[in-house]
Amino acid sequence: MSQALSQRLKIALIQLAATADKARNLSRVKEHVLKAASNGAQLVVLPECFNSPYSVAAFPQYAESIPSGETTKFLSTLARETSIYLIGGSIPERGDDGKLFNTSLSFAPSGDLIAKHRKVHLFDIDIPGKIRFKESEVLTGGNKITVFDIPPFGKVGLAICYDIRFPELASVAARKEGVFAMIYPGAFNTTTGPLHWELLARARAVDNQIYVLLCSPARDMTSDYHAYGYSIAVDPNANILTKAGEGEEIVYAELEPGFIEQTRAGIPITTQRRYDVYPDISASTKTSAV
């Protein structure tokens, strides 16, 4: 199913320099979101783990309950005060059963919580001499594909960082739900970032002929985890609309009505699929917003 983006949408990606000081992080988020909204952004994206360090040791320390925790309330109020869609990066979540998750919350301009995504694919890698990271030492993976409506623009899909390496999530969201964009708060690093960050953004865009937004923390070489930076927005033809550098900044882009249809009319892969040769995974996969 395909769905036109019904109006031009101005987005902002906030490449925040997240620190170990949660109060400072939240106050910087507020400053940046107010600025982005005053510059006309209608949808603002924060990075993965914007209110804590990105580290296995930090997850239990910073974890909050949802929706009763401080950050949920903070994001809801900020979305309402600025009248924007706020895609709240991710935070460590302590679930009712005590399990920890890497969770992204999205809010409508009314302040209502409209989506909750728990990172499905945990970032467990070991590249000798470069980087070892095992989210699964403390986190549990989510179990759903997240899609939600942002009227009057249409539907978007949301996943977190390492989830981008698994193309099925984006394909199901695009084919089954007709999302016009996939949004990935993410914190790649200085080893895998140069290899795959931009490539994956452009790959998911060209696979599905949709917009793709990736929002990273700023790089901080004094912290244990060296986030890559280079937050990026890509159009359905895999052209780069905007790209940050390594430091703290806000970048903006406009998503255009009709560009998805135009792209698909020119290169009609959406109507040329051969489900007699391979299965349509989107047919049997469930999606939800919360």
Q: Judged by CB under 6 A, does residue 188 bind ligand LYUYDEPV?
A: yes
The residue among 180 and 197 lying less far from ligand LYUYDEPV, judged by its C-beta, is 197
DSSP string, 231-258: -EEE-TT--EEEE--SSSEEEEEEE-TT
Q: Tell me how many residues contact ligand LYUYDEPV (CB under 6 A).
A: 11
Whose Cβ is closer to ligand LYUYDEPV: residue 48's or residue 64's? 48
Phi-psi region of 238 (alpha: psi -120 to 50; beta: other; left: phi over 0): left
Among 59, 62, 85, 123, binds ligand LYUYDEPV (CB under 6 A): 123
Q: Clarify whether 286 is annotated catalytic.
A: no
CB of 72 to ligand LYUYDEPV, least distance (A): 21
> Which of these ranges, 20-28, 187-195, 207-215, 255-263, lies near ligand LYUYDEPV under the rule CB under 6 A?
187-195
Beta carbon of residue 53, minimum distance to ligand LYUYDEPV (angstroms, whole number):
12
Residue 134 annotated in active site: no
Shortest distance in whole angstroms from residue 196 CB to ligand LYUYDEPV:
6
Using alpha carbons, list the distances in angstroms from residue 13 to 152, 181, 242, 272.
20, 14, 10, 34
Q: Which amino acid is at 11?
A: I
- Given the rule CB under 6 A, which of 39-47, 77-85, 182-190, 275-283 is the region that contacts ligand LYUYDEPV? 182-190
Q: Which is catalytic among the residues 22, 49, 93, 119?
A: 119
CA–CA dist 45, 51 (Å, integer) = 14
In the complex with ligand LYUYDEPV, which residue's Cβ is closer, 49 or 260? 49
Contact predicate 91/71, CB 8 Å: yes
Contacts made by residues 150-155, CB under 8 angstroms, sequence distance 24+: 150/43, 150/85, 150/108, 150/114, 152/6, 152/7, 153/5, 153/6, 153/7, 153/9, 153/42, 153/43, 153/180, 153/255, 154/3, 154/4, 154/5, 154/6, 154/178, 154/179, 154/180, 155/3, 155/179, 155/180
Contact 231, 13 (CB under 8 A): yes
Question: Min. distance of Cβ 197 from ligand LYUYDEPV in angstroms?
Answer: 8
Decide: residue 14, CB within 10 A, 0-12 exposed, 13-18 middle, 19+ buried: buried
Residue with Cβ nearer ligand LYUYDEPV (161 or 210): 161
161 lines the binding site for ligand LYUYDEPV (CB under 6 A): yes
Lookup: tokens for 9: 């949408």
The residue among 155 and 204 lying less far from ligand LYUYDEPV, judged by its C-beta, is 204
* 187 is a site residue for ligand LYUYDEPV (CB under 6 A): yes
Please tell me whether residue 212 binds ligand LYUYDEPV under the rule CB under 6 A. Answer: no
Give me the 34-63 binding string for ligand LYUYDEPV, x by CB under 6 A, dash otherwise: --------------x---------------
Burial of 271 (0-12, 13-18, 19+ CB in 10 A): exposed
Structure tokens that stand for 158 in this block: 């949301």
- Residue from 30, 80, 165, 243 that binds ligand LYUYDEPV (CB under 6 A)? 165
What residues make contact with ligand LYUYDEPV under the rule CB under 6 A? 48, 123, 161-162, 165, 186-189, 192, 196
